[in-house]
Structures are given as C-alpha cells and as structure tokens.
Chains A and B, each alone.
Chain A
Amino acid sequence: MSVLKVVVVGNGMVGHHFVTTLAKKDLDVEIIVLGEEPRIAYDRVHLSEVFAGREASDLALASLDTYAELGITTRLGDPVVSLDRETKVVVTQSGARFNYDMLVLATGSYPFVPQVPGADHPRCLEYRTIEDLEAIKSAALGSKRGVVVGGGLLGLECANALQNLGLDTHVVEFAPGLMSVQLDAPGSQQLRTRIEGLGITVHTSKNTTNIKSVGSKSLRMEFADDSSLNTDLIVFSAGIRPRDELAKASDLVTGERGGIVINEHCITSDPSIYAIGECALHEGRVYGLVAPGYRMAETAADRIAGGSACFTGADMSTKLKLLGVDVGSIGDAHAQTVGAQVCALSDEQAGTYKKIVISSDGKKLLGAVLIGDCDNYDTLLQYQQNDIALPDTPVSLITPASGTPLLAANALPKTATICSCHNVTKGCIIDAIEAGCGSLADVKANTAASTGCGGCATMLKSLVDDELAARGVVIDKSICEHFPHTRQELFHIAKINSLQSFEDMITHAGTGKGCDICKPAIASIMASLWNDHILKPSLVSQQDTNDTFMANMQKDGTYSVVPRIPGGEITPEKLIVLGEVGKKYDLYTKITGAQRVDLFGAQLHQLPDIWRELTDAGFETGHAYGKALRTVKSCVGSTWCRYGVQDSVGMAILIESRYKGLRAPHKIKSAVSGCTRECAEAQSKDFGVIATENGWNLYVGGNGGMRPRHADLFATDLDDATLIRYIDRYLMFYVRTADRLQRTSTWLDSLEGGLDYLKEVVIDDSLGIAAELEEQMSHLVNTYQCEWKTALGDPEMLKRFRRFVNSDGNDKGVQFVRERGQKRPARDDERDDVIAVAS
C-alpha cells in the first residue's frame, strides 16, 4: 500500500499539536504542513508577554529542524487559496498544488471587527499574530491614548498590554459588564473595580456607531448614546470568527454563524477532511481556548492512525493572565444547571468576590467564580473536574482563613487532570516520575504539563515535590549545574573557608567552568564578604557585563552613566557639571525615577573620560549597574517643609553615604520621609524611614517594580544610633541568607516565621549574631572605595574600555537619531536616515 498523504492547512497552535502528535505515532504517513503566517507555529497564548519584554522568537513551539527530523514537509508564508474535494487537491497562493489522502483544516479564527464606518482606518488594529503585535507597538509610539473594543478575556489582556506600552488605556464594551461570558453580574462589577484600580478606564453598554479621523494620528469614536471618546489608536478584540472560507467555498457543511461542522471524530461532512481547533464547530460550539483544540488534534491523529478516540466537548474553565488582577471562572459559572445552588461571598473592602455553584444534592461542585483572589482556583477546579465529594459546609472552600486546607495534590485520585491544556493526569505525572524524571523540569519536558497557560503550575510543583519526596529524592535547589548548593550555602562555604575567588569556589565546591548564573552570584558574595575592587584580575571575568564596565548596557550596546546624588540633594554647581558633561559628550539626559540624573548613549571608550570629569568635580559612582545599594530618596523635610518633624534630607544622606557600595543578592533601595505624609515613598522601599515627633519609624521589605509590596513597620520612635544599628543588622542578615536575585520583599515573605522572626533576630538578637552582623557591616563601610575613582588610577583596569582592541574605527552598529532636542538610538526602520554615526 502506498504511504498515506496527510496535508494540514494552518500551522497555528492546534495544527502544530496535530502534526507532532501524528508524526510521533509509528505510522507510514507523509505529512505536509501549509501555513499562512511567515513563521513556524508559536505560542499565541503567551503573545502578550512580548509586550512585557519577552522576545517574539522565544514563543516558537518548534523549529524547521525539529519538523524536518520528524519527517514533516513545511511550507510557510503561502496560504492555501483553494480546495478541490473531487480531485483531492489544495492549491496555495503561489500556485503550488498538493494532493492529499486526508486533509486537516486547522485554520483557526480571526478577530471579529464590528461593521462600523471608519473601522478600516489604519490606526484601527487587531490582536492575534506577532505581526499584529508589532503593528500595535509601532502605532503606540508617540500615542497617548489607546482603546480596546471588547471587554472579554482577550480584550482585557490586550488592555493590559496597551497599558504596558504606556498608553492611557480605555476599554469599550457593548454588554453591560466585563467578561460577561464567564462572570455573573456581581463578579463582573468587582472585576471592573479592580481593572479601574489599575488605571484603566472602563466604558460599558457602549455601542460604537462611527469612527472618524481627527488629524493624521487621532480618532474619535462616536457611540449610540451620543457620547464620544477621542483616542490615538483602537484595537478590536470583540470576539473571534472561525476561518471557514475554504470550507465554505468547497461546500463543506458550516454553521449558520460560521465554523466547520465536525462530529465527535473531528471529521467534517467530507470523510477525508478533518477540522480541528478554532475553525471547527462541535455541537454548535466554537472553542476559543487552546486546550479543547489540543483534544481535537489528538482525536484526529488517533483516528487517522486507526484508533477510536472521541472528542466529547471540553472544559471552559479559565484564569485571566493579567498581572495584578486575579480572575478565575470554572465550569457552570452562571448556575444554569437545574437545581443548582449558589454560595457567594463579596468583600468590597478586600476587593474580592467568590462564588461557588453546587449541585442540588449539595454533593458536587458545578462551577465557581473568583475575583481578586484565585488562591483556591486549583482546588476548586479539582473538585469540579473529578466530582470529588464536597465538605459538609461547602462555603468553607471560599471563606478566608477558615482553616480548611487546600486540596493537597496527594488527596487527588490518579485520574485527576492536573494540566487541562495538555490533558495530563496525576497518573501520567506519577508514571513519568516512575520512568525516571527526577525534577520538575524533567516532568514538564516529558509530559508537557504546565507548558500551556501555566494555570496548573502551583499544583504541578507541589505534586512533583510530594512524589519525589515520597521516593526519598532530595529536591534540587542548586543555583546551576556547576554548584550543588543554594546561594546561602555558597555564602557560608566562602566565609568559613575564606575563599577569595571564583576559582577557589569552584575547586572547593563545584564542577565545570561556571556560567552566567553562578559567576555573578559568586562575584557578589565575594564583594559582600571581602569588598575587593570588582575589576581585580581574579574577579573581573565573573562580573555581570554591567559590573565589568561599571555602567548599564543599553539596548544598542552603549552605556548609561549614573553618578551618585546622595538623598537627591545637589548643588547648582554640580548640576551645571552634569549639564556640561552631557553636552560635551552629547549624552541623552534624563531625570530618573530615583532622584538622580542618568546620562545615556556613552560608548565603551568614552566611559573613562566621562568619569574622569565627573570624579574631578566630586561625583562618585552611583552603582546603578550593581546589585547593590542604589539610592536613598528623600523629601525636603523639616528644613523647609511646614509639616516636617525631622531632617529627612540629612538622614537620607547619612544612610546613603553609609551603605553606598554595599553589594547584595539584589539591588537595595531606601527613602526617608520627614513626616507621615510620606512624600519620599519610603514604604515602597527595601527599607524606609519615616520621621516621627520622637525619632524615626523603620519599615522593611517594601518593593516597587513588578510586584509591589508595602513595607512592614519594623520598629518605632528610634533614635539615630539605634536606627542605624537595626539597619546594619537587617541588611547584613539579608545579604547572608537571601537567594540569588531575591529582593528583600520576597525574602521576607519566604522567611520562616516572617516579620516576627526578623524582629527577634534583629532587635532581640535571638541568634546571637547581632555583633557579628554589625562588625561585617562596619568592615564593608570602612573598605568602601569609589570603584570608578580607583579604576581611573589603574591603567590595567582601563585596558578593557576600548571599543576595539586593535582599532579606533567607528562602531557602525551604533546609530543615533535626534528627538526632542536629544539623541536616541535609531530604530531598525530608521537605520538608513541617521543623523550621525557615533564617533
């Protein structure tokens, strides 16, 4: 018999899952994939992470090489334009013809754009592909406001993305509430409050009737209620429509509202044609999630291989991936099952809403809605999916601190689905561990669990940890493949054995040559212990690039220069020096978010010259490049302010001068406010100080950044000396015991015993190490040197500050353009009309 020829139209997530599943079956098939997009299948679910800094190329689900190894023929960037069912041939746009024995349509869907006049304006965009994302990014440049039309799951994710791009973001929704498919009215209202709390403006019950252009770059949306909204760009995310155009043109049966009709074998009205993923219509339903698509792909692959798999519908439980807003919807969220009972808890003060839907006999969980707190999502999902008997008072599942333990992984039956994206059960995971998987990473690679939406990550980790522990496996906490130790252990090994360099460390406690994880971690430990100059020959090759050149590398390979401005206080003379240096070297100049000045766009060879001028004028390095003390912000305090009760500027300068140069597991920031109005934002810092009538209140463990955390009040009404003593101990204890790249906020949260324990160690000296901690700190304070000043006096250290070791030629990779009177790196599309090549 000749080889079975399977042609797949569409190389999206589901098409990809299908071809890899089929290729791995031991079958005599020829697989041909025809894709419209110019790149190989990628992880659309995580598209938004590109806005948060992830590279689009990281999203790829495969490479042409892996496809070739699986024997798959791939043709990308060339969509199929016609299908002849009689002769069993498909033809692509470029005219290539492929005949098939079996055809699989995996063409996905497209974003629905309502028929509104003006919706075809070039500043009206969609959000589905990497190209869409690039278009949104470039439209956002120079824009102030962005509107997302659609308040569903995708629309809100898109709104989050626009906000990440720095736009004043608005969501316009036709329905009266957000996420109306998944949430009930109170849930939707609570979500709205949360979303608005993020600074996103929400407009509901708005029917857009017209979009007008205003000038060249702006739009005006008009609504049926005569209101209007001006914006610079619009992204439509108002639902999806299946791409069934090939099916329609060849008279396959499609649904009234679109979608290629399939049966439970995923076969269309033509027995040689399958349809899977978002283009398929199963029992009147199009599934807009990836997990059901994967189930269809597995069903189709199994059928083609002669199996008897069936697709019987799928679970639509979801979690929203928005940063800062926890939203979960499970099963029958609207309580539509006959006789269903509802328990709901709404806590407006905490901003949470939780609801469970229970079967009429009170025994089973049918659905749930969670807003503001998704901690119980995994547990509830397991109850619902595995029909686990509910406790006597089911409401205890959602009441805060009720003492009901979360459903532990070990309480689940083996048939429980842990990862619904990849349909991995607890049994599969145990099998993988039995077969030799010895770590979370192994289990993920082997079963694909937790490589989809990530919603199951916590549950998976605890299951794997439990199972490994039950087998006597010690959970691997090594920092990397070169050292079987945690950072804390390495710190102690170095200290006890007086190890002075990376070579000493690896000979003593590691293997191999090291890498970009362990080298900088150890360099930081060396600095915290011995405080030698970071460019010392035995230390220099382990430093992070930024430390190596004592400056922060920018996206184009140039550097920024940040001199220290303790407490943010600066004389006019010194400000003039900064201006003059900026002007002389043509540096982009900006006030930073931490009360100092950053000078950008310096090239490697210019750094010593720039720093010579700065140090001559009395500036010191600001360690903006180091995992070290950054700044101590201040407010103007009692010296000028009518409310100030202490000299906050003086204290900020004292603190910054004391801890400058202190290297730590991560950067450390501080601030001092002169009164309780807190203008210096001390409660968002690793340690913050707020003046009181009687002295100072000390706060610890605050963080801005990605996961903001308010600092905890640690001690009150301290005098200057006690304040400094507590900070010494606190910081040194952190330096000793935190993980690599762990800020004080997460360190404090992970400390067993938490804040109380920390107080015992620092204030009551419960471990008897307070004197040692203070001594270590005073060693560091006494051995401080301005790294730049020292380096400038040492020709050997400066040797590396050369663009090229053998030439004074220009770096043609560095190109600038001018904007608002200053230079900035040229974007890719500007590279041809540059004003100057850096010299």
Chain B
Amino acid sequence: MTGVETKPNWYRLCYVDDLVPQSGVCALLERAGEEDQQIAVFYLPEEREQLFALGNYDPVGKAFVLSRGIVGDLQGHLVVASPLYKQHFDLRTGRCLEDQSISVPVYQVRLADDRVEICA
C-alpha cells in the first residue's frame, strides 16, 4: 500500500528502484479519505536535490502526462517539457516558463533509505 504516513504529512511513495535516471515516472499518492493524486517524480542523480516532484497534470494539455516529458535545463531553470504541447515547467517551482500565470503543484520529496517520500 502506498501512502503510509511516516512522520506527519510525509508519505511513502515508491522505491528508488522504480525511478528512471534523467527522467520521470508517475506514482499514485493514495491516502485514506482523500482523492488519489498523481505525482510525477523526476530523478536527476547528479543534482543537489536528486529528486523532484510535481503534480502529473498538464494544465495546458489537460491530461495527466508530465512524468512522461523530457527533462533538461533552459535559461538556467531545470525543467520538464510537456509531451503534449511542449511547454516547460520548472522542476523547482512548478512555474510554466512560457506563461507566468500557469503553474503546477510542487512537492517536497526525499529519500529515506530505499524509499521515496513526499510531503503532501
């Protein structure tokens, strides 16, 4: 079962083995009494943070696909490009580079032994 609460508000999502370096995967955050949430988790082992988590919903393409975008950097921002219409979302702030008025949720994420945990 995912979404086991370890400390207040921190939830286990998946194993580090589930991740794909330089790329994203989608994990489901299932919590009792709450709507399930799709989280896009990106694994960039050479970055200081190593892990980044955004909501998986692409507000422009209106589909749950951000985990399947290409990761890279643009003008100094670490970004994922939406696979649908190629807008870039900042992995650290969730901001859309092409349209300041659009952003996606960002989650704190950390590694606890071999587990990926997020704060939600």
Chain A residues in contact with chain B, CB under 8 A? Answer: 55, 57-58, 60, 63-66, 481-482, 512-516, 518-520, 540-542, 544-546, 548-549, 553, 555-557, 799-800, 802-807, 809, 811-814, 828
Contacts and interface: CB of A to CB of B under 8 A. Distances in A.
List the 6 shortest-distance A-B pairs measured between CB atoms, nearest first.
A545-B83, A516-B81, A515-B72, A541-B22, A805-B18, A813-B64
Contacts of A553: 65, 68, 83-84
B52 interface: no
Given A55-B60, A553-B83, A813-B38, A542 B70 contact: yes
A555 B102 CA distance: 19
Given A541-B21, A806-B18, A811-B64, A514 B73 contact: yes
B65 A513 contact: no
Nearest to A518: B72
B99 A60 contact: yes
5 contacts: A515-B70, A545-B70, A555-B61, A800-B25, A805-B26
Contacts of A800: 20, 25
A750 to B, nearest CB: 24
B3 to A, nearest CB: 9
Contacts of A544: 70, 83
Nearest to B69: A545
B73 A512 contact: yes
Which of A57, A60, A542, A807 gathers most chain B CB within 10 Å?
A807
Interface string B4-31: 0000000001110011111101111010
Nearest to A545: B83
Interface string B69-88: 11111110011010111101
Given A515-B70, A804-B26, A806-B18, 4 more contacts: A57-B60, A802-B25, A805-B25, A805-B26
Contacts, number: 115
A527 to B, nearest CB: 16
Which of B57, B62, B102 gathers most chain A CB within 10 Å?
B62
Contacts of A546: 83
Contacts of B99: 57-58, 60, 63
Which of A63, A516, A519, A828 gathers most chain B CB within 10 Å?
A516
B36 interface: yes
Contacts of B74: 481, 515
Report the contact-size class of chain B (Cβ under 8 Å from the partner): 35 or more
Given A805-B18, A806-B27, A516 B72 contact: yes
B32 interface: no
A515 B62 CA distance: 22
A482 B79 CA distance: 14
Contacts of A514: 72-73
B14 A806 contact: yes
Interface in B35-67: 36, 38, 41, 57, 60-65
B69 to A, nearest CB: 7
Nearest to A66: B100
A3 B85 CA distance: 45
Interface of B: 2, 13-15, 18-23, 25-28, 30, 36, 38, 41, 57, 60-65, 68-75, 78-79, 81, 83-86, 88, 98-102
A804 B63 contact: no
A682 to B, nearest CB: 33
A515 B81 contact: yes
Contacts of A811: 38, 64
B107 to A, nearest CB: 15
A136 B76 CA distance: 41
Contact of B68 (A63, A518, A549, A556): A549
Contacts of A515: 70, 72-74, 79, 81
Contacts of B38: 804, 811, 813
A63 B100 contact: yes
B36 A809 contact: yes
B75 to A, nearest CB: 7
Contact of A813 (B30, B57, B86): B57
Given A541-B71, A800-B20, A806 B65 contact: no
A65 B101 contact: yes
A63 B97 CA distance: 13
Nearest to A39: B101
Given A555-B61, A557-B63, A806 B2 contact: yes
Nearest to B71: A541
A63 B85 contact: no
B63 A513 contact: no
B73 A809 contact: no
B64 A55 contact: no
A540 B72 contact: no
Contacts of B28: 804, 806-807, 809
A201 B96 CA distance: 43
Nearest to B2: A806
B27 A516 contact: no
A759 to B, nearest CB: 38
Nearest to B13: A806
B116 to A, nearest CB: 9
Nearest to A64: B101
Contacts of B100: 63, 65-66
A756 to B, nearest CB: 38
Given A63-B100, A513-B78, A809-B30, A540 B63 contact: no
Contacts of A519: 70, 72
